[in-house]
Amino acid sequence: MEEKENQYNKKLFGLLGKDISYSFSKGYFTEKFRNENLDNHNYINLDLPAIEDFPLILEQYKSDLSGINVTIPYKEVVISFLDEIDEDARRIGAVNTITISPKGRLKGFNTDVYGFEHSLKPLLEDHHKKALILGTGGASKAVAFALHKLNIEFFFVSRNPQKKNEISYNQLTEELFSEYSILINCSPVGTFPNVEKSPKIPYEFLSKKHLLFDLIYNPAVTTFLSNGKKQGAVIKNGLQMLELQAEKSWAIWNS
């Protein structure tokens, strides 16, 4: 009976992205499955050079694949391949979790919002009223959604600002930094192996009233965070956010 149950519960999960050999998810879920004695659960990297290859992956693993996480650079473009999308994910415009029904229907969710919100909240103080989001990709959209839920005003900072709520890195002044005390790096700048790099902001205008949050977790202390710490700022990386969003994904897959 137990053998039949284990066979019935055989499930495969994966991470969809590009150049993701470094990624957190595979290691996290592999360890989780081992710790929880889920012997017939496996997690693999679905490393694709182009999103157009996604249907081929679905066909290859269609009999086993039960759920997918999505990372850079496919959180936005994957939406066009889905049959259905959760309302919050639709409003955000980015998906990082996909469920696959027994009939093969794909539904998209966003658990980055949950992970970021609950990772940031314990650090917030009364003066943390406004934020600058560095980057405009899929992750930044989830961060913006969470900030809106927390009643924190924000601007996106972009190399090529195109929208009303976007400003350029050249517009980051001491006066602006005195008002916007939360800075969130949603760009990949500073990720291993390019650890010496950091977003081009005037770090000399940071102070102990500032809070710097980097979605990057490898290295644990990026140059962005290190520069902030030297100025007395509170810093946090994206590891807890990843853990929280992963557990939220797991809950969705098993709901």
| Tokens 């609950």 sit on residue | 118
Q: What is the C-alpha separation between 110 and 143, in angstroms, rounded?
A: 11
Give 101's contacts (C-beta < 8 A, 6+ positions apart). Answer: 107
| Tokens 């049959």 sit on residue | 83
Give 140's contacts (C-beta < 8 A, 6+ positions apart). Answer: 133, 134, 156, 184, 186
Residue pair 87/114 in contact (Cβ under 8 Å)? The answer is no
Q: What is the C-alpha separation between 34 and 38, in angstroms, rounded?
A: 6
* 75 given a catalytic annotation: yes
Query: Kind of pairing, strands 166-168 and 234-236?
Result: unpaired
CA angle 59, 61, 65 (to 5 degrees): 120
Q: What is the C-alpha separation between 107 and 81, in angstroms, rounded?
A: 10
From 75, 130, 141, 208, active-site residue: 75
Active site amino acids: 75
